[in-house]
Structure 1
Amino acid sequence: SAFAAAIGALRGLREVVNLAPAVAMQPPAPPVFRRTLPLSLSAAGLVSQPMRMMLRNVAHHPVRSFLTAFGMSLATAILIVSLFTEGTMEQLVDVTYFLADRQDATVSFFEKRPREVAFQIARLPGVLNAEPNREVQVRIRNGHVERRIILRARPRGAELNRIIDADLRPVVLPESGLAISDMLAKILKVRVGDTVEVDLLDSERRTVSLPVAALVEDYLGMRGMMDEEALARLLREAPMANGVSVSLDKNRRDEFYAAVKAMPAVSSLALQTASLATFRDAVALLVTTMSSIYTGLAAVIAFGVVYNNARVSLSERARELASLRVLGFTRGEVLGILLFELALLTLIAQPPGWALGYGLAWIMKTNLAGELMRVRLVVDPAIYVFASAIVITAAVLSALIVRRRVNRLDLVAVLKTRD
């Protein structure tokens, strides 16, 4: 009996040894998955299966998705800067030539004359309104910093030559003291209430100290401004004028020109239309060229980013898309899975692109601010819409090219590809 028991133990040990490799080769038990959210809150009830496939692919490639969206944002920002530059020049023209200096012509004299000369000019044929103005060359100084400017005086209630602030409202000059350009105040490092030294360079040459009574944010050049009566007291003379701004009847301009030519005291006649045309000719070429370059660059960036992302995604998912075609998906459905991802990234990129564009416009506005010209930081909402429209159009053109590649996908060759 002992011998039989030993034989039985050996047989059991042999069976255990023979079964051990089989147990070791068994695959591990699958993990246990649990639903985190109730079925009513899952995405399955909100989006379709192709949309979930698209979202899953975006989540699986976060770096590539971020770079694609960032590239589209940069394209939008470049377009906003381009359109801002063109639009701000038009705003500069509107403020300068239609809100501030609204005269049709300016008559200048060889020598200063009593301001009653405006009544003489007003009686010329075709003149609807006439306003005298006085200009004096001065040197303004604060410490060791100085600039040579024109000190201009206007009568109270002037309608043709107005001073417009940053809010596009007329500025009333103080009865005493000096109003200067905001850029000039920054150069001289003065504020309202500070005193500056003014060297009078016309007639009686002397130096006076004047308080800064107001700052005006103008856009062309730098200037000082005073009330007509205050400048007359400063110069120790009766109110004088060395120019008259006039508003003309368009139908009688030729008569007015002939009458001005017959006046020996007139030195020149400056036409507002000629000045505006000269300004446009000087700025239009620069603005048009820069705008065209920026627009083309942004379109190329948008097209290249979308096309590159689509080609990479198509190369990576060719087998998956071909399998969907074999399973019964139409070409449009398969193409939608590929292009919905790019459409989503393009739309997501627009708000950051608007913010980047506004920031770049602010940088350009700051860098353009100089002694000769400044611009306003006004980005019209239509600029955002137009910039996004151009970027989306470039993305659509890129998608159309990718569509041809998807339609010509060789299903048999792709399905034969080994993993």
Structure 2
Amino acid sequence: MSPLDQKLTRDLWRIKGQAIAIAMVIATGVTLLVMMAGVINSLEETRRVYYERHRLGDVFAPVKRAPSHIIRKLAALPGISAAEGRITGSALISLPSLDLPLRAIAISLPDSGEPRLNAIHLTDGRRMDAKDADEIVLLNSFAHAHNLKPGDTLSATMNGAKRTLTIVGLAQSPEYLYSVAPGEMISDDSRFGVIWMSRTALAAAFDMQGAFNEAILSIGRSNNLQATLDRVDSILSPYGGLGSYGLKDLTSNRFVTEEIEGMRSSSRVVPPLFLAVAAFLLNIVISRMVEAEREQIGLIKAFGYTNREVGLHYFKFVLVIAIGGALLGCIGGIALGRAMMPLYLTYYKFPMLVFRLDPASFATAILTSIAAASAGGLLVLRKVFALTPAVAMRPPAPPDYSRTNRFGKRLNHLLDQPSRMVLRRITRQPGRMIGSLMGIACGMALSVSMISMLAGFDHTIDLTYTVMDRSDVTVTFTHPLGAKTIHELESIPGIIETEPERSIAVVFHNGVESYRGAITGLVPHPRLKRALDEKSAPITLPERGIILSRSLATELDIQPGEILNIDVLEGARPSLRVPVSGVAESLLGSPAYMQMDTLTRLLGEPGRISAVYLRIDKNRASAIFRALKSRPYVAGVSMKSDARAAFQKMMDTGAGSMRYIMLVIAAVITFGIVYNAARIAFAERQRDLASLRVMGFTRSEVSFVLLGELAVITLAALPIGSILGYYFTMVIAKGFSTDLYQIPILFIPESYGRAALAVLAASVFSGWIVRRDIDRADLVSALKIRE
């Protein structure tokens, strides 16, 4: 081992506490980078393989009723590699243990053999026998939520007829990776199921003999999707086509894609932000260490070592810490990524999900860490290299404090000697103080942003399920019904208030931008389901025009006053041109609102409603649900409290739990920054502090001189950190927001207070560690340190 390498080993051991703290700061940023990249890679690769193995279709074309021979015409279209027709219909499941009816969708499978497209993955039991019309295969996640297994029976109402069905198998499907009831946003395994039946049985149930109501197509990779959709729509239009759409608009795939894209967006913003803060801290530490060893550098050069050799020595110092932190972060990223996989399986129903490493993330993490760690040291070394050995070996000229502000007699009278020493240190070395202050402020900003994110998620839930939706129950119908249905529901004892809704599926167009979504028609002055403005005040829906959610307006790049083109996908499928009257705040989904009377008039279906919001007497809930079960036109009944609990669970235990991980990482970085600031200050003033002890100052007074400086800097950093935290929150919230939910940017004093307490706690703990080192310091050794 060369002399310089021996010095490197001694230096690392001497500042092992700081080196470990810096390595941990690097490791936290790298952990996030590796974990996020691995999760993205895992979700994308597993989804691709799952789709390919089970032949998930590329085009879905719902239709009211089309004869079976039309499938041959669809299969003959250019670029179509496979086509299949199937039967689907809504079902209402009744379980003995529940009063609330549960929504389901029934899907046909061929009487014999595997389907050409959209095959299922059987997890338990067997396929149904076409000779037995009451045998079904049930969605695995729904069955597990209700402890159902092969051999059990359940009651289901389909097309107005109640049937007792026998479960013979459990299955998963790539079509239902994210299982959610039509029209809803949040997956809840206990509230939505999928029933697979033989084609013969389901055709009899929905009167579809010799016909189908949904076509599934597979197309080549080079085929033009939009041209294919247009050809399919032209063929199915005479039979009541409801508008074909591609895989990207399939509900399940759309949510999985949003999760992946949200994670990718976060990975581009959050880990670099954390690594930037770590780099800033490293630059401060390395720069001060190099400046402190100025004389040693001169001595090394006097012994004949070149600038290149000296620079390589300090570069090795940086490399050891940076690579050590990066490797530790890679290991942590792998462990954390694997721990995240079961959380994703909770909501995305893959048969299995294995954490797949992304080699590029390792290279990026290590190179980024090295570059960040090297920057500060190299800038300082360049100044030192310009000195000759004789000049470098001499202490630098004492700084000129003649122009600094002097303390007046009155201030000297008010402050004791240790306090004046603290203030002189701060005012006479503003550059170093600002560096420490900004480091602590960045730590504070990370804590503020993460705590604000938690508050933002809570605000999203509260605003959506308390302020916007003030109903208790939502009842959806199998098809649009007349207004007299409202009076029939009002006659059920226990229903206090009703409010109708008309929802239609549409495609919005604005120039080259388009979005497949829905329009919700509400009464002019809604009480139970409301659109809100940016101040959370109810919006009065205009007689003409449409109100878009902010996320939808952004997606379509449209402003109030402009004209929006709308293709309706139901009924006569008219094309509408509607002015945008305003923008509403919606933190869940991307809704659009119109006056219900205006909407139904444009559709040519006045008075038709598709759902009703209810406010009920909760003491009579069981009787109300039993009454709703008996209505053949009811497609689904959902409790708002169940939806809220499902969303809260997803945020706490599913993909949303990522914010808790980042909060912990932010806390680690914050502590690392504060601890390093204290250690650096102690290393720089060790000889001064020992001199004070020899001069008669007590341990408490000496500690006050050092820790008072840290306290002043920490307190001064809090307001700056709060300001930076607001902008950090803006960046991170944008990275976390998806089409499923948007994270608001809130100024909540409690969030800033908690972040400040976290920084103060880190400062107190760091100060206690440094105070212990001051008390244990060897005065003789400290006084021998050369200035």
After TM superposition, give the deviation of residue 297 of structure 1 in Å.
3.1
Q: Quick one: distance in 2 between partners of 1:220 and 1:35?
A: 59
1:357 to 721, 725, 731: 725
Aligned twin of 2:490: 122
Q: For residue 128 of structure 1, give the secondary structure of its aligned residue in structure 2.
A: strand
* 1:90 CA displacement: 0.8
Separation in 2, partners of 1:341, 1:92? 41
Aligned match for 1:135, one of 503, 507, 522: 503
Is 1:168 the counterpart of 2:168? The answer is no
State the Cα distance separating 1:350 from its structure 2 match. 0.9
Alignment of 1:98-117 (within 5 A): 98-117=466-485
User: Which shows bigger deviation, 94-103 or 219-228?
Assistant: 219-228
Residue 138 of structure 1, CA deviation: 1.6
Does structure 2 retain, via aligned residues, the 8 Å contact 1:298–1:391?
no
SS in 1 for 2:696: coil
TM-superposed deviation, 1:152: 1.2
Q: How does 1:270-349 map to 2 (within 5 A)?
A: 270-285=638-653, 289-349=657-717
Q: Give the residue type in structure 2 aligned to 1:160.
A: L
Higher mean C-alpha displacement, 189-198 vs 111-120: 189-198
Cα distance in 2 between the residues matched to 1:138 and 1:63: 60
1:244 corresponding residue in structure 2: 612
Aligned residue identity for 1:276:
R
Match of 1:18 in 2: none
Q: For residues 664 and 603 of structure 2, what CA distance do their matches in structure 1 show?
A: 56
2:525 to 157, 163, 182: 157
Mapped pair 1:261 → 2:629: yes
Alpha-carbon distance in 2 for matches of 1:165, 1:141: 23
Q: CA 1:287–1:395 in structure 2 vs 1: closer, same or farther (change >3 Å)?
A: farther
CA distance in 2, matches of 1:38, 1:372: 60
1:268 CA displacement: 0.9
The change in CA–CA distance for 1:402 and 1:119 in structure 2 (over 3 A counts) is same
1:73: Cα distance to partner?
Answer: 0.7
**SS of alignment partner, residue 669 of structure 2:** helix
Amino acid in the other structure paired with 2:576: V
CA contact (8 A) 1:125 1:259 kept: no
Q: Tell me which residue corresponds to 1:203.
A: 571
Task: Give the Cα–Cα distance (whole angstroms) in 1 for the partners of residues 716 and 557 of structure 2.
Answer: 45
* 2:592 partner amino acid: G
**2:412 maps to 1:44:** yes
Alpha-carbon offset, residue 42 of structure 1 = 6.4
TM-score, normalising length from structure 1? 0.85
Task: Kindly indicate whether the alpha-carbon contact (under 8 Å) linking 2:450 and 2:666 is maintained by their aligned counterparts in 1.
Answer: no
Which is worse superposed, 137-146 or 240-249? 137-146
The aligned amino acid for 1:344 is V
Superposed displacement of residue 107, structure 1: 1.0
1:181 and 1:215 in contact (8 A); partners too: yes
Which residue of the partner structure matches residue 381 of structure 1?
A: 749
Paired letter, 1:172: T
Per-residue deviation, 1:293: 3.2
1:391 aligns with 2:759: yes
User: Kindly tell me: are residues 189 and 324 of structure 1, through their superposed partners in 2, closer, same or farther at Cα, counting changes over 3 Å?
Assistant: closer
Deviations 1:187-241 (CA, angstroms, capped at 9, x unpaired): 3332222222222211112212222222223222223221122112212232111
* Structure 1 spans left out of the alignment, 5+ residues: 1-32
Distance 1:288 1:323, change over 3 A: farther
Shift of 1:87: 0.4
Displacement of 1:49 in angstroms is: 1.4
Compare CA radii of gyration and give the structure with the larger one. 1
* Counterpart-to-counterpart distance in 2, 1:345 and 1:135: 58
- 8 A Cα contact 1:306 1:399, kept in partner: no
Deviation at 1:319, TM superposition (A): 3.6
Return closer, same or farther for 1:244/1:314 CA change in 2, 3 Å cut-off: closer
Evaluate the alpha carbon distance shift between residue 414 and residue 372 of structure 1 in structure 2; reply closer, same or farther with a 3 A threshold: closer
**More displaced stretch, 365-374 vs 154-163:** 365-374
For the structure 1 residues 118 and 387, does the alpha-carbon distance in structure 2 shift closer, same or farther, using more than 3 Å as the test? Answer: same
**Higher mean C-alpha deviation, range 245-254 or range 178-187:** 178-187
In structure 2, do the counterparts of structure 1 residues 416 and 220 end up closer, same or farther at CA, with 3 Å as the change threshold? closer
Report the Cα distance in structure 2 between the residues aligned to 1:282 and 1:253, rounded to whole angstroms: 26
Question: Helix, strand or coil: the match of 1:349?
Answer: helix
Cα distance, 1:81–1:265 mapped onto 2, change above 3 Å: same
| Aligned residue number for residue 187 of structure 1 | 555
Q: Give the Å deviation of 1:412.
A: 4.7
Count matched residues.
387
Shift of 1:128: 1.2
Q: 1:260–1:344: structure 2 CA closer, same or farther, 3 Å change rule?
A: same
The AA in structure 2 aligned to 1:410 is D
2:528 match: secondary structure: coil
Equivalent position of 1:407 in the other structure: 775
Secondary structure in structure 1 of the residue aligned to 2:730:
helix
Distance of 1:165 and 1:68 partners within structure 2: 42
Bigger shift: 217-226 or 55-64? 55-64
- Kept in 2: contact 1:118–1:132 (CA 8 A): yes
Deviations along 1:10-61, one digit per CA (max 9) or x if unpaired, are xxxxxxxxxxxxxxxxxxxxxxx99999985664234321122122333454
Gaps of 5+ in 2: 1-400
| 1:93 alignment partner AA | I
CA shift at 1:186, angstroms?
Answer: 2.7
Question: Any idea what the Cα deviations from partners look like across 1:82-140, whole Å, max 9, x if unmatched?
Answer: 11111011111111101111111111111211122112112213211111111111222
Q: Residue 221 of structure 1: SS of its match in structure 2?
A: coil
Kept in 2, the 8 Å contact 1:119–1:130? The answer is no
Equivalent residue number for residue 73 of structure 1: 441
Deviation at 1:418, TM superposition (A): 7.3
8 A Cα contact 2:536 2:585, kept in partner:
no
* Mapped contact 1:160–1:245 kept (Cα < 8 A): yes
CA shift in 2, pair 1:349/1:115, >3 Å: same
CA distance 1:161–1:327, shift in 2 (3 Å): same
Aligned equivalents of 1:46, 1:367: Cα separation in 2: 51
Which structure has the higher relative contact order (CA within 8 Å, separation 6+)?
1
Q: 8 Å contact 2:506–2:518 — kept in the other structure? A: yes
Residue in structure 1 matched with residue 4 of structure 2 by the alignment: none
- Rounded Cα–Cα distance in structure 1 between residues aligned with 2:453 and 2:402: 57
| Pairwise CA RMSD | 2.6
Verify the 8 A CA contact 2:525 2:541 in the aligned structure 1.
Answer: no
Q: Residue 153 of structure 1: CA displacement?
A: 0.9
Q: Is the 8 A contact 2:574 2:603 kept in 1?
A: no
Identity over aligned pairs, percent? 33
**SS of residue in 2 equivalent to 1:244:** strand
In the alignment, which of 583, 587, 593 is matched to residue 219 of structure 1? Answer: 587
Aligned to 1:86: 454
Distance 2:505 2:779 in 1: 83
In 1, are the aligned partners of 2:531 and 2:593 still within 8 Å (CA)? no
Return the alpha-carbon distance in structure 2 between the equivalents of residues 140 and 319 of structure 1.
72
8 Å contact 2:651–2:657 — kept in the other structure?
A: no
CA distance in 1, matches of 2:402, 2:692: 28
- What SS does structure 1 have at the residue aligned with 2:481? strand
Partner in structure 1 of residue 287 of structure 2: none
